[in-house]
Structure 1
Amino acid sequence: MSDSYPQSALREWRAHMGHPATLVAILGVGLVLGVAGPFGTDVRLTLLPRIAYWLITVLLTYSAGTLCDAMLKRPLARFGFWVHLAVTALATGVAILLVLLVVNYIVYGWLPDRDSLPAFLGTNFAIAIIVSVVLATVHRQSTPVEIVSNPVRILDRLPLDKRGPLVALSVEDHYVRVQTTRAEDLILMRLSDAIAEVGDTKGAQVHRSHWAAFEHVTTARREGDRAILTMNTGTDIPVSRANVAKIKEAGLLP
């Protein structure tokens, strides 16, 4: 792969945070909380400053949570789903708490004192853990709802905002990275099972750890007795010596 994992995770995070559906959801939640004024913000702030406070808080806390999830996927992949889920939820909770402490100090000039600190940390940390566990469970369920109209069943395993034409599948520890023209995500499954769900997408397994969709190959080049496919997403996919014949048959190499 042409990118290091942190770069790939950051690119995935930026794509998710910049997606219109994400921005609309953050705007909606921020407006609702701004009008409702929970946790005493209705007393401390007037309407417009309160809405601004909640919009910023929702944006920063959600951004911190999704960044933790993106950065921890690969390092925790070998430990299995539940360990991954627990550690990600813990990291997300800590990140959200730090964000809340900073935001509250900037807006109110307030930090919890010795008496109020346990209640403040306990309440917010519990909320953060519950939310991150729920979101992680929803997004990482590996049993999709069958969609008859979509022959590429692997896409049913992705969040809606990441679904698009299938570009490549790549093994990362016990996970398969599913890359589409819109985004990418990790799914806990074997590469062989993922390939069985590509439907009518024209492509092939070109390496023991990689499958590529031929229509999304922009260039193909030789490297000794092997080859490299560059996809239209900018990702490089290696082709093993035993599979060079496949890309020749597809007309990608002379």
Structure 2
Amino acid sequence: MKGPPLTHTQKTRRLVVAASALLLVLLAGVGAVLWNDFQRSKPQFQQAQADAHSIRIQRKAFADIVMQLDAAGLWSITEPCSLPVNPQRMQPLLDALQPAAQSFAAADVDLEAAGLLDPEAVIVMNEQALALGITDLSGERRYLQRGERIEFVPEWILSLVNGGLSALASLDVFPQPLDELVLLPEQPTELAPEVISVDELAQWQALSAQQIVTWPLQDSEPATASRSLRAKIGDQQLSMSLHLYPRYAAVRYENAHCAFLISTDSLPDTAQL
């Protein structure tokens, strides 16, 4: 037995309910597809992060910077010189360079317009080259080519990479506590070595570089004075040299290919040669 005919309002309500139910079904289906894609990509992302063990940064007109992961799980710079890495800079770099959840086929992207035919820099992670291009229209993302896929990475990656050693390495001249520091005479027959006092040793320990640069310095004025130093850190005896210039000082470890550039205002009195 049929009931009374539906009013216009009742018909409209039923249509709305049916449409809402259909929309929920569609959204659930899309959500399931996206979740499955995420679950499939998640192990690959974690594996890529776990497998990162070496990074080489290549820039035009600059020496390559190579960083290696040791057996203890610590990163260090091995080229162009040996330096401890600044972990506050290293971890964001590693995170940003992991494979993105979304990427595009390189064949579908105008590589020249994206700046990838002549990249700003190339980062070789393990054996895979990652080319950094220009930013997109938002100015917040940068094109990155990973094999035959194109991704987006944060814009600041290039600024960090272009900061070189000064941005990636620890700027502490003495990264470990000093037990003793000796200022050696210019000529062994002139004066006895000067042992830095305990009070001033803390000032030397606190020295931090404004920049870390490759040695020898390029286009630099001649040093006004140079002296040798010998530091004792635990069981280690480390030799280094201090070079004074008109506007800064340079500390270089023996046989190192890099030097720490320090403001002359921050030097202890005993460093004023």
Q: Which has the larger radius of gyration?
A: 2
Normalised by the length of structure 1, the TM-score is 0.28
Structure 1 or 2: more helix by fraction: 1
